[in-house]
Chains A and B, each alone.
Chain A
Amino acid sequence: MSYQLVLRIWRGDSSGGDFVHYEVPADEGEVVLDVVHKTQALFAGDLAVRWNCKAGKCGSCSAEINGVPRLMCMTKLSSLPAGRAVTITPLRTFPVIKDLVTDVSFNYEKARQVPAFSAQPDQPVAPFTMYQEDVERSQEFRKCIECWLCQDTCHVIRDHEENKPHFAGPRFFIRYAELDMHPNDGLDRKKLLQETQGLGYCNITKCCTEVCPEHIKITDNAIIAMKERVVDVKYDPVVKFFGRRRAGREKRGS
Chain B
Amino acid sequence: MPAADQETYERHSYDVVVIGAGGAGLRAAIAAHESGARTALICKSLLGKAHTVMAEGGIAAAMANLWPEDNWQVHFRDTMRGGKLLNHWRMAELHAKEAPDRVYELEQWGALFDRTPDGKISQRDFGGHRYARLAHVGDRTGLEMIRTLQQRAVSLGIDVFMELTVTELLKDGGKVSGAFGYWRESGRFVVFEAPAIVLATGGIGKSWRVTSNSWEYTGDGHALALRAGATLLNMEFVQFHPTGMVWPPAVRGLLVTESVRGDGGALLNSEGKRFMFDYIPEFFKAETADSPEEADRWYTDKRNRRPPDLLPRDEVARAINNEVKSGRGSPHGGVFLDIASRRSPEFIKKRLPSMYQQFMELAGVDITKEPMEIAPTCHYVMGGVEVDPDSQMSVVPGLFAAGEVAGGMHGANRLGGNSLSDLLVFGKRAGEHAAEYGAALAGGRPKVSTASAHDAAEIALAPFAHDQGHDNPYSVHQELQAVMQDLVGIIRTEHELRLALDRLVELRAKAAAVAVEGNRQYNPGWHLALDLRNMLVVSESVARAALERQESRGGHTRDDFPMSDPYWATQNVVVELKEGTVSVRRQPLPQPPAELAKLLEEEAH
Contact = CB atoms under 8 A, between A and B. Distances in A.
User: Is A in direct contact with B (CB under 8 Å) within the complex?
Assistant: yes
A247 interface: no
B428 to A, nearest CB: 15
Contacts of B104: 126-127
Contact of B109 (A46, A49, A97, A117): A117
Interface stretch (B45-53, B73-81, B408-416, B568-576): B45-53
Nearest to A175: B151
30 contacts: A13-B521, A29-B251, A29-B362, A29-B363, A34-B250, A40-B524, A45-B517, A46-B518, A46-B523, A48-B523, A56-B361, A57-B54, A57-B140, A58-B53, A58-B214, A60-B46, A76-B362, A101-B522, A108-B47, A116-B152, A117-B109, A126-B104, A126-B107, A129-B119, A129-B120, A130-B115, A130-B119, A142-B143, A142-B144, A182-B110
Interface in B330-372: 354, 357-358, 361-363
A52 B254 CA distance: 12
Contacts of B284: none
A243 B144 CA distance: 33
Interface of A: 13, 27-31, 34, 40-41, 44-60, 74, 76, 97-99, 101, 104, 108, 111-112, 114, 116-117, 119, 125-132, 135, 138-139, 142-146, 179, 182, 185, 215
B583 to A, nearest CB: 34
A182 B152 contact: no
Given A28-B249, A45-B518, A116-B151, 16 more contacts: A27-B250, A29-B363, A40-B474, A50-B46, A52-B45, A52-B214, A54-B251, A55-B362, A60-B46, A97-B185, A101-B185, A112-B154, A129-B118, A132-B122, A139-B137, A143-B140
**Dominant SS among interface residues on chain A:** loop
Given A45-B472, A46-B526, A127 B107 contact: yes
B200 interface: no
B172 interface: no
Contacts of B249: 27-30
Interchain residue pairs A-B with the least CB separation, the first 9 = A29-B248, A46-B518, A45-B525, A117-B110, A41-B474, A116-B155, A126-B107, A129-B119, A126-B108
B10 to A, nearest CB: 17
A182 B115 contact: no
B524 to A, nearest CB: 6
A98 B358 contact: no
Contacts of A116: 109-110, 151-152, 155
A53 B53 contact: yes
B521 A135 contact: no
B247 interface: yes
A30 B112 contact: no
B214 A50 contact: no
A49 B524 contact: yes
Interface in B515-541: 516-519, 521-526
A182 B151 CA distance: 15
A45 B524 contact: yes
A108 to B, nearest CB: 7
B268 interface: no
Q: Interface extent on B, as a size class? A: 35 or more
Interface string B97-118: 0000000110111101111011
Interface string B231-249: 0000000000000000111
A182 to B, nearest CB: 7
A185 B151 CA distance: 15
Nearest to A143: B140
Q: Which of A57, A135, A146, A185 has the most CB of B within 10 A?
A: A57
Given A29-B248, A98-B521, A128-B107, A59 B54 contact: no
B532 to A, nearest CB: 13
Nearest to A113: B154
Contacts of B51: 52-53
B67 interface: no
Contacts of A185: 110
Interface string B136-159: 011010011001000110110000
Interface string B8-43: 000000000000000000000000000000000000
Contacts of A46: 516-519, 523-526
Contacts of A99: 522
Nearest to A54: B214
Contacts of B516: 45-46
A227 to B, nearest CB: 23
B518 to A, nearest CB: 3
A56 B472 contact: no
A13 B362 CA distance: 32
